[in-house]
Amino acid sequence: MLGQGRLLKNMKKTISLDANAILRYIIDDIKEQADIVQEILQNEEVLILPEVIAEVIYVMTKYYNYPRNKVSDYIIEFLEDSECNYQNLINAVKTFGGKNLDFVDCLLYEYSKQKDYEVFTFDKDLIKLIKNI
């Protein structure tokens, strides 16, 4: 039993970054914090949640006034640095950079491409995009 306790104690945990941490890394406005996030990305297993990316996009476009295409570029670069393998998330960020849809709609669009997933919406722009699949 004691051996199992040690084994659990030594297990590596996955770290989920919040929007603030991701923003510090992307914008690099507080160098010490950006460096800490970079160290985490290089040395830890990191989980990037779509909900957090939605918040990052909101803050970058509304608070910092970055254009959509720049936000998309910065986040794609961040996701590559974090070795994110969640393809729907990466594709949704790319779609966000080139379309006039909010990020959640871009995620829904990506999910709609899966054959076992259907999106119901009244949003005409999203309907038009989905019909072009």
In a domain? residue 34: yes
Strands (E) in 7-124, as ranges, are 15-16, 46-47
Q: How far apart are CA 127 and CA 1, in angstroms?
A: 56
Residue 124's pLDDT is 94
Query: Phi and psi at residue 60, in whole multiples of 5°?
Result: -65, -35
Tally of domains in the chain: 1
In a domain? residue 113: no
Residue 11's pLDDT is 58
**Interval 54-97: pLDDT, tens:** 999 999 999 999 999 999 999 999 998 888 878 999 999 999 99
Per the structure block, which two tokens stand in for 124?
A: 């005409």
Grouping H, G, I as helix, E, B as strand and the rest as coil, residue 1 is: coil
User: pLDDT grade, residue 10 (50/70/90)?
Assistant: low
Residue 3's pLDDT is 45
In a domain? residue 64: yes
Q: Which domain holds residue 22?
A: 2-99
Residue 13's pLDDT is 84
pTM comes to 0.85
In a domain? residue 110: no
Mean pLDDT of 15-20: 96
Residue 118's pLDDT is 93
In a domain? residue 115: no
Q: How far apart are CA 99 and CA 28, in angstroms?
A: 26
Q: How far apart are CA 93 and CA 74, in angstroms?
A: 10
Q: Picking from 10-14, 60-64, 66-70, 114-118, which range would have the lowest pLDDT averaged per residue?
A: 10-14
Contact 34, 25 (CB under 8 A): yes
Mean pLDDT of 25-53: 95
Residue 1's pLDDT is 43
Chain mean pLDDT for the chain = 90
Q: How far apart are CA 19 and CA 70, in angstroms?
A: 17
Which position has the higher pLDDT, 82 or 12? Answer: 82
Bridge partners (DSSP) listed for residue 46: 15
In a domain? residue 112: no
In a domain? residue 107: no
Q: How far apart are CA 92 and CA 35, in angstroms?
A: 27
In a domain? residue 114: no
